[in-house]
Amino acid sequence: MLNAIGVSVAPLFLGLLSDGFTSWAGAQALRYAMMVMSLSTIPAAVAFALGAPKVASCRED
């Protein structure tokens, strides 16, 4: 379900960001929008890193 949401919403959000960046970035707007979208993986990585010890301790029991 989350993958379906990501596949359908992410391109729309990327386009909106790109359109918003066009006023100051011109032809490079898509590049900057993609860089911003890639930053969304950082909170996920932090959440996985913080949750990994808890999962490991649950599996040992």
Q: What is the CA radius of gyration of the chain?
A: 17
Reported as a pLDDT band with limits 50, 70 and 90, residue 1 is: low
Query: The domain containing residue 20 runs over which residues?
Result: 2-60
Asked whether the beta carbons of 14 and 34 are under 8 A apart, the reply is yes
Percent of the chain past pLDDT 70, that is, above it, reads 93
Q: What are phi and psi of 38, to 5 degrees?
A: -70, -25
Indicate whether 24 pLDDT > 80: yes
pTM for the complete prediction? 0.70
What's the structural domain count of the chain?
A: 1
What is the pLDDT averaged over residues 21-28? 95
pLDDT value at residue 19: 97
